[in-house]
Structure 1
Amino acid sequence: MKKSISLFAALLVAVGTLAVSGCATSHDEDPIVDLSSFYLRGNMNNWANDSLDDGKMTANADGSYSIVYTAKAAIDEFAIANSGWSVKYCNGTEVAPDGTGVSLESGGGNAKVTGQTPGNSYKMTVKPSSTSVSVKVELAGSNVPDFYILDTETGMNKMDYDGTEYSYTFTASGTSESLVVWSKDKYYKGTVAYAKENPTEATLTANDDVSTVVVNTLEANLPVKLILTVKDSTVSAKAQIAIPDHFKVVMTFKDCTTEKVSFNSNISWGGVKAGKWSVDETVFDNAAKEANLVGGKLTFYVSKDYDVSSTWVAAQAPEGANFKFEATVGSGTADGGLWYKLPLDQDTVEITYYDDQIK
């Protein structure tokens, strides 16, 4: 995906008030989980003293509540409290507007949202637990910058944004990809090392001239998700497998007394198209792909793109089965294998493999 600077240049041508109420240090009533009668009460909305509706939060499907407010100052004090202040969550905790969840205990001093830009809109999301609430704050509305992947064939591709991260999914054409990332008249440059899980973030630099973000350590035909995060003025990137297109299979081994079990050439895939699956070799401790199964786990990924009509294993597989796992102990023979069906409505499949299944 190598793009010339001239082509992209042409593409771009085309296209602080004091609180009168707050958290006291006196004894609170027992906290409750239901937050339907609780409000955001803080400096940003005059502590909801003018009207409780100013702090009314909207219930979300996941059990959380959210509200969008306008920052009055760089630091706004607040509490999550009921109408009479008999129960409030604050406890002097500081919350940064970067989407990181922070736990607020009941009582104590006012909580604070720090590092805000006065006049900007922020979204606060509150999720209850038995004795506390989790609060996260992030930019909202027009204050959230848009990021694009620029391509001479498909134009400006807006990255998806979930309130915390930007993402863009692509299929690798080789061992590396060069992506043009653009936002607010700036190009971003950096090198990102792909990893199936827990990838390392790399800091990107903003440039006036056309630049690229290079994603390396890839494999051809691999579905990859590029993820961007923005904190203050720092833009970071990481790249990992696009899990929605793949199953992550985690095999946990219970009561295994065998020291080593070899998996080399003993994973048969029912109808998986060539080149669409891979074993994560980081779980193996040597080139022979031997895994220590004493309390160990085997993790691998397999595509959801199946076609069993013309594969040799189709006739052997039970109806609906997707793959067979065989274990070979030492110099012995394979155990005949266990067939598994991968549910299409899940991204992660957990399987327990017991010692008596390894012959």
Structure 2
Amino acid sequence: MQVAGQKSRLAWAVHLSVAALVVLWIIPTVGLLISSFRDRDQISASGWWQSPLAVEQTYRTRADAGAERQEGGLYVIEGNVFAGEENADAFAAARGTVTGFGITGRAPAAFAPGSEAELRGGGTLTVAQDGAFRAAASDSFGRRGPTIYFEAETPPRFTLENYSRVLGADQMNLAFINTLTVTVPATVIPILIAAFAAYALAWMEFPGRGLLIAAVVGLLVVPLQLALVPLLSLHFKVGVGQSFLGIWMAHTGFGLPLAVYLLRNYMAGLPRDIIESARVDGATDFQIFTRIVLPLSFPALASFAIFQFLWVWNDLLVAKVFLPSTDEAKVMTVKIADDLLGSRGGDWGILAAAAFISIAVPLLVFFTLQRYLVRGLLAGSVK
């Protein structure tokens, strides 16, 4: 028996489950945020959870042939691997810790610091732990000194370069405007059409209404990928082609089933007495829809607006298919994928920074309308 004022075990289990889910969602987000400030090479060498620690990375430098001197019967070049211009950005004040060195790129850490390695062209090479090296040979090294490969502990580096590259990319401001140009109409148009259709399916009697509702539910499970090629062919036949009008129509068609289903369930759950009283007073269906049903359905409208806005804003596939490939028509997702990530898409720092820049507007929309989200999602679940 539960004592008044005490929480049941089930309540504690629910709270722990919710906390676990929140942590599971937050961890990847934190990792993405940390990665957005890290150097590309360090991202490749270690996970984001190791970002405060030094990272072992491989480098190469070339001994300066101009510093060659004769010492007895040998030609000697001395210096420090951390002082080279190639690695100046990686090591502050030209200091670091060598963990291994080598004479080939295939084995950059084949020798321990302080040991002696045989150069392929003759001579020896020694690299100390503090980076000091000595190359000696019986013949002159000529105009080019030997190449030195080494592995060193690189201090953690955090930078704003990823954000600078994203924000400073050519025509990124135009891509932002194009994204708004696509997203706002593609969110408003389905809501306008679906609101009228939902009212008709909820409160108007006509033959075939049940079949239409079943068709809407069936369209919810149809993958949009199946319709991309036929729909694009239809656009070219009717003269729309790849354009902003074409992508508005595509997003409207893909979003309508969910919009109609969500709004119809909510409108069908409104009190019947209000609708009947308005009809007794002589109100038309249009007046009932605009003055009673539509204002009462705002939570459901806001819920769908959140989903549709997030979907269209983050969309890449539909934008690639229904928009021209010119720079003037690219949205942010296409701009980032094509111009910043390249064909291989391996620059995770750029991707992470672009993700946080692109979610600024969706977060603003979500937090503005989130109080209506739960009420809209629960539409029609309880009578």
Shorter-chain TM-score: which interval? under 0.3
Q: Select the structure that is richer in helix.
A: 2
Structure with bigger RCO (C-alpha 8 Å, 6+ apart): 2
TM-score, normalised to structure 1, is 0.22
Point out the structure with max Rg over C-alpha: 2
Q: Select the structure that is richer in strand.
A: 1
TM-score, normalised to structure 2, is 0.21
